[in-house]
Structure 1
Amino acid sequence: MYTVLARIEASLNSIPLCPASNDPNDLLVLTPGHFLVGEPLMAPVEPNLSSLPRNRLSRWQYTEQIRQHFWTRWRKEYLTSLQQRSKWNRPPATIQPGSMVFINEDNLPPQQWLLGRIIQLHPGKDGITRGVSIKTTSGILKRAVNRISILPMDNDHEEANDKEVQ
């Protein structure tokens, strides 16, 4: 159980907190791991064991299955809480070019985050942004707004700036 909890702790300490700089070409982020060991926490990619029955797994594979199950639930429940959903009577939060975002991909292994910076907005006919172009380490991706989440600290920083302007 200690191994499972330590690996879950490492997964939680790998979450990106905020961009390392304001440079739009810099895709590095600050994580809790930077405060603990001076660099992001990394783990080797393990095969997906979530669909195998428990009685076919070795003890190590079972601990990995528990971690993968936790990771899947945590990503689905936590990342969706980062997406701002506003009521129809309030304007939606504005997405700005240059913001660092998570790209919600379903099949990423634990401690792997697909990150990028928004480089272009794609508004719909009603003028509301429906899609974005995102610069990642592997190139430029186009994603719907509901498949991205702005980094929590980056979002708080922008909200603080908006309040200062008002």
Structure 2
Amino acid sequence: RVIGDQRLTYEELLTVMTQVEAILNSRPLCALSSDPNDFEPLTPGHFLIFRPLTAPPERDFTAVNINRLSRWQLIQRIQQDLWKRWRQEFLHTLQQRTKWLLPATEVTPGTVVIIHQDNIPPRQWPLGRITALYPGHDAVHRVADVQTASGVIRRPLAKLCPLPSQ
């Protein structure tokens, strides 16, 4: 669905599949250490090459008409569409919250989370560790203080994605 009706050569398809592999192997699984000041996540890339797989951000081609793109730009657009779909499908499963009819297992201080930010691509979303939770008027936690590499920030729980292993 991401590629649509585009026809790719073998080399282009191989490039796209390699980028998809890097995207999937760069997703954070859990915290690398129990140190509260360490924000390096363990990724599948650590098992493959003993370090995270990272890629520099590319120019955004999602707003450009497909027939105006060069072949390299088309591959970049496919990668960006994949990131968009990954963000919409996978990250939303991490963020699912149910209606507060029954007490649910919530995040607790010390939980490692991905901090969802609308203005940057998902691969650049920072990781943080929850340090404090603040309840709303109905005693349900709605806001958290999150320790990041650059300091402590306050975010709504709707913008925090606990890592799958948490």
Alignment TM-score > 0.5, same fold: yes
Shift in Å, 1:88: 4.0
> SS in structure 2 opposite 1:24?
coil
Q: Give the equivalent residue in structure 2 for 1:90.
A: 102
Q: Is 1:113 matched up with 2:149?
A: no
Conservation of the 8 A alpha-carbon contact between 2:87 and 2:122: no
Partners in 1 of 2:106 and 2:77 — Cα distance?
38
Conservation of the 8 A alpha-carbon contact between 1:16 and 1:151: yes
Q: Give the equivalent residue in structure 1 for 2:149.
A: 137
Aligned residues: 154
TM-score (norm 1): 0.87
Partners in 2 of 1:69 and 1:46 — Cα distance?
13
Partners in 2 of 1:141 and 1:70 — Cα distance?
29
Q: Give the equivalent residue in structure 2 for 1:164.
A: none
Conservation of the 8 A alpha-carbon contact between 1:132 and 1:143: yes
Aligned match for 1:54, one of 59, 66, 83: 66
Aligned match for 1:31, one of 35, 43, 50: 43
Aligned match for 1:4, one of 16, 19, 27: 16
> SS in structure 2 opposite 1:49?
coil
Q: CA RMSD in A?
A: 1.4
Q: Is 1:19 matched up with 2:31?
A: yes
TM-score (norm 2): 0.87
Q: Which runs of 5+ in 2 are unaligned?
A: 1-12
Q: Give the equivalent residue in structure 1 for 2:8.
A: none
> SS in structure 2 opposite 1:85?
coil
Q: Percent same amino acid at aligned positions?
A: 48
> SS in structure 1 opposite 2:62?
coil
Partners in 2 of 1:88 and 1:127 — Cα distance?
11
Q: Give the equivalent residue in structure 2 for 1:99.
A: 111
Q: CA-to-partner distance for each residue in 1:28-83, whole Å, 9 max, x for gaps? A: 11000001111000111111111111122111111000000110111121111012
Q: Give the equivalent residue in structure 2 for 1:147.
A: 159
Higher helix share: 1
Conservation of the 8 A alpha-carbon contact between 1:123 and 1:129: yes
Query: Moved runs in structure 1, 4+ residues, more than 6 A?
Result: none
Shift in Å, 1:87: 4.3
> SS in structure 1 opposite 2:124?
coil
Aligned match for 1:43, one of 31, 52, 55: 55
The amino acid that maps onto 1:64 is: Q
Provide closer, same or farther for how the CA distance between residues 54 and 101 of structure 1 changes in structure 2, counting only shifts above 3 A. same
